[in-house]
Amino acid sequence: MDFMSLVRQRESCRNFSEKIPTHQELENLIEAARLSPSACNSQPWSFVVVTGVKAKEVAKCTQSLSMNKFTENCPSFILVCEEKATLMAKLGGVVKDQQYAPIDIGLATAHICYQATAQGMGTCILGWFDEKKVIETLSLPKNKRIRLIIAAGFAKDDHLRQKKRKNLEEIVTYISD
């Protein structure tokens, strides 16, 4: 599959089937993230893969205020955690007034989602969750920073929704000589 086909196929999955991803399928997602680019090769991330009974508990941590009810059927979650960046990335960030770690984490997350799509899996990136409750539920270190949670599994329905995106003319400016 060429990359643009992959991009067109990837969408947020909110209806997971009962099929459980294999260890190898989940490891492939992490490998894609591991190979993603980062500022000064700082790789300011770590990942926690949650399956089984603990996945059901993580799902509950994402469901406050009637949000993310679909996660109750999700068989696995990937916690995307921020780790300390390298000294060079931190210095570059100060000099350029830019925080690179969130950008790097976004790139790693995208790599996970595209690899999942390439494997026939579905994902949904979650920013709405109770971080303290997740840390407590999984007995993670209290200083762990969970930036995103990716719901990962197989879609119950493989019908693609039409993407609602701005027109190219609305988002790009070309400048040349």
Round the average pLDDT of the chain to a whole number and report it. Answer: 94
pLDDT at 49 over 90: yes
Q: Cβ–Cβ contacts within 10 Å for residue 168, how many?
A: 7
Model pLDDT, residue 96: 78
Listed in sequence order, the residues at least 6 apart from 104 whose beta carbon sits closer than 8 Å to its beta carbon are 36, 37, 38, 39, 42, 43, 44, 45, 85
pTM value?
A: 0.93
Nearest by Cα to 31 from 150, 105, 107, 111:
111
Model pLDDT, residue 163: 87
Question: Residue 43 has what pLDDT?
Answer: 95
Per-residue pLDDT, averaged over 68-85, amounts to 95
Residue with the two structure tokens 């991330």: 45
Q: Domain spans of the chain?
A: 16-158
Per-residue confidence at 99, pLDDT binned at 50, 70, 90?
confident
Mean pLDDT of 30-40: 97
Q: Is the pLDDT confidence value at 73 over 90?
A: yes
pLDDT tens digits, one per residue of 113-172: 999 999 999 999 999 999 999 999 999 999 999 999 999 999 998 788 888 999 999 999
| d(C-alpha 28, C-alpha 30), whole Å | 5
Contact 16, 166 (CB under 8 A): no
> What is the pLDDT at residue 82?
96
Residue 91's pLDDT band, with cuts at 50, 70 and 90, is: confident
Would the pLDDT of 12 be above 90?
A: yes
pLDDT reported for residue 94: 80
Give the range among 2-6, 21-25, 47-51, 88-92 with minimum mean pLDDT: 88-92
Q: Which residue has the higher pLDDT, 80 or 87?
A: 80
3-class SS at 36?
Answer: coil
90 pLDDT higher than 80: no
The CATH number of the structural domain formed by 16-158 is 3.40.109.10
Residue 172 identity (one-letter amino acid): V
